[in-house]
Amino acid sequence: RQITVLFCDIVGSTEMSERIDPEELRDLVREYQTASARVIEQAGGHVAQYLGDGILAYFGYPTAHEDDARHAVHAGLGIVAAVRGMSEAAQRKQGVSVSVRCAIHTGPVVAGDVGAKGSGARLAVGSTPNIAAHLQNVAPPGAVVLSAATQQLVHGWFELSAMGPRKLKGRHEPIEVFQAIREAAARSRSELDAAQHLSPLVGRREELSMLNRALGAARGGQGQMVLLSGEAGVGKSRLVHLARQRATEDGFACLVMRCASYFENSALHPIIEMLQDDVGFEPDDTAATKLHRLERSIEALNMPRDEHVPPLAALLSVPLDRSYPVVDLQPHKQKARAFTSLLALLATVAQRHSLLLVVEDLHWADPSTLEFLGMLAGQPPMPRAMTLMTARSEASIPWAGRTSFTRLALSRLSDVEVRVMIEQIAGDRRLPPEVLREVVKKTDGVPVFVEELTKMVLDAGLEVAESRSLTDRLLALAIPATL
Residue 25, pLDDT score: 85
For residues 195-224, one letter each, b for 16 or more C-beta atoms within 10 angstroms of the residue's C-beta and e for the rest, the string is eeeebebbbbeebeeebeebbeebbeeebb
The residues facing 254 across adjacent strands are 356
Query: Is the distance from CB of 50 to CB of 33 less than 8 angstroms?
Result: yes
Residue among 407, 416, 422 at smallest CA distance from 457? 422
Residue 240, pLDDT score: 94
Residue 438, pLDDT score: 84
- What separation in angstroms does the CA of 367 have from each of 263, 268, 334, 362, 388? 11, 8, 16, 11, 19
Q: Which helix (H) or strand (E) holds 227?
A: strand 224-229
Residue 318 burial class via C-beta count within 10 angstroms: exposed 0-12, middle 13-18, buried 19 and up: buried
Residue 479, pLDDT score: 64
Residue 115, pLDDT score: 64
First-to-last alpha carbon distance for the chain, in angstroms, is: 12
pTM: 0.80
Residue 89, pLDDT score: 78
Query: Is the distance from CB of 202 to CB of 421 less than 8 angstroms?
Result: yes
Residue 171, pLDDT score: 80
Query: Is the distance from CB of 124 to CB of 111 less than 8 angstroms?
Result: yes
pLDDT tens-digit profile, the chain (483 residues): 899 999 999 888 777 877 888 888 888 889 999 999 999 998 989 999 998 889 999 999 988 887 899 999 999 999 999 998 888 777 777 777 888 999 999 999 998 776 666 555 678 888 899 999 999 889 999 999 999 999 999 988 899 999 999 988 878 889 999 999 988 876 666 566 555 666 778 989 999 999 999 999 999 999 999 999 999 989 999 999 999 999 999 999 999 999 988 788 889 999 999 999 999 998 789 999 999 999 999 999 999 999 999 999 999 999 999 888 887 778 889 999 999 999 999 999 999 999 999 999 999 999 999 999 999 988 888 999 999 999 998 888 877 666 678 889 999 999 999 999 999 888 888 888 888 888 898 889 999 889 888 888 887 776 555 554 555 565 556 666 666
- What separation in angstroms does the CA of 251 have from each of 79, 300, 353? 40, 18, 7
CA distance 205 to 454: 22
